[in-house]
Structure 1
Amino acid sequence: MRRFFTRTGGLAAMAMLAAMMATPAQAAPAPRACTMSLSAQADSAETDSPSRAATVAPAYFQMTTIERPKPFVIQLTDAAKIEHARKILSGKETERTHIHGRIIKRTAPYNPAYSFYLDPNTIDFFQMAIEVCDATLSYTEDHLDEACGAFLPGCHFCPWTSKLIAEIPAP
């Protein structure tokens, strides 16, 4: 009986994650799947307005996870998210500091040390997230062939120990 509930709970968690990360059919802003802070949700509602979510010249940031492998580079193209990332680096933002997004299983020119990158259109920041999308950079790289199935369902990656470490110039 316990095994049934464990499997059912795992399937329910994956279904919930898939529903939260599904791309809406309309041009409505995407839901904050991993953000648990109500104040952060209120703040992000302001930055999701079409007038503030303007696409700008890409900005590049290095991040890492707890095991400290080679830095992983993310590309941000949304002005509000770039501003948020810079606030994290300056110490002004202390709550929504971890990075999440959808994995693309190929190398990006700006992130050659890894066989995957995060889709810039899906990258956001969170304070707390569900466990099913948590993994380190090295574990994800080593198990990339399993990603987007039972491991990191929906290709959603939200490392709990992710940390921005620097803004870097465009490659």
Structure 2
Amino acid sequence: MRHVFIKAAASAGVGVLAFVTAQPTQADAPDRQPVRAAAESPAYFEMTDITHERFIVKLTKAADIEHAREIVSGETTDRPHLLARIVKRTAPYNPRWSYYANPDTTQFFDHATEVCDATIPYVEENLDEAGGAFLPGLVWCDWSSRLVREIPAP
């Protein structure tokens, strides 16, 4: 019976993630200067969470980079947490961990479903289970995540 419940919860969680991670329409976005469409160099940010561990994220989308810089500078407190699909291998810019946040899937959020919440070290400790009932679809949304600073490109 527990197995059925876990599968049902995971399926429901993936459905909720689709809703939570949906991008707002232009009409929902506040009036702001248009973000440059031109490709920009990636930017790297140090993230921490309730465990005080450090994790490096690579951002490649101009809007994400701009938002991350606004968070770090204190210009905004909107959508302070990071959500992304994880990739189960080490990234050269984040060698301490056996996973990294896929920059193509990165988003910022205020609130997200519990099924994707896990701390940095908990993901590492349970990486072999990620993608199943734990972090369905490999979607990770550490509720206590926060960007601390921008760091130079490696």
Q: 1:42 to 1:146 in 2, by over 3 A?
A: same
2:106 aligned residue (110, 123, 133)? 123
Q: Note if contact 1:53-1:78 (Cα within 8 Å) is conserved in structure 2.
A: no
Q: Note if contact 2:86-2:102 (Cα within 8 Å) is conserved in structure 1.
A: yes
Aligned mates of 2:70, 2:12 — CA distance in 1: 32
The answer to whether 1:95 aligns with 2:78 is yes
How far is the alpha carbon of 1:42 from its aligned partner? 1.9
How far is the alpha carbon of 1:95 from its aligned partner? 1.9
The answer to whether 1:43 aligns with 2:42 is no
Q: Note if contact 1:132-1:151 (Cα within 8 Å) is conserved in structure 2.
A: yes
Q: Note if contact 1:54-1:78 (Cα within 8 Å) is conserved in structure 2.
A: no
How far is the alpha carbon of 1:43 from its aligned partner? 2.2
How far is the alpha carbon of 1:150 from its aligned partner? 0.7
Q: 1:40 to 1:112 in 2, by over 3 A?
A: farther
What is the identity percentage for the equivalent residue pairs of Structure 1 and Structure 2? 47
Q: Which runs of 5 or more structure 1 residues have no equivalent in the other structure? A: 21-30
Matches within 5 A, 1:37-76: 42-43=28-29, 52-69=36-53, 71-76=54-59
Q: Note if contact 2:10-2:132 (Cα within 8 Å) is conserved in structure 1.
A: no
The aligned amino acid for 2:50 is I
How far is the alpha carbon of 1:46 from its aligned partner? 7.7
Q: Note if contact 2:45-2:57 (Cα within 8 Å) is conserved in structure 1.
A: yes
Aligned mates of 2:90, 2:122 — CA distance in 1: 16
Q: 1:60 to 1:9 in 2, by over 3 A?
A: same
Aligned mates of 2:14, 2:127 — CA distance in 1: 21
How far is the alpha carbon of 1:33 from its aligned partner? 1.1
Can you list the C-alpha shifts for 1:89-127, whole angstroms capped at 9, x where unaligned?
Answer: 111111200001000000000001100001110011000
Q: Which runs of 5 or more structure 2 residues have no equivalent in the other structure? A: none
Q: 1:120 to 1:15 in 2, by over 3 A?
A: closer
Give the structure-1-normalised TM-score.
0.77
Partner SS for 1:100: strand
1:33 aligned residue (18, 21, 27)? 21
Partner SS for 2:90: coil
The answer to whether 1:149 aligns with 2:124 is no
Aligned residue for 1:27?
none
The answer to whether 1:16 aligns with 2:4 is no
More relative contact order in 1 or in 2 (CA 8 Å, sep 6+)? Answer: 2
Partner SS for 1:165: strand
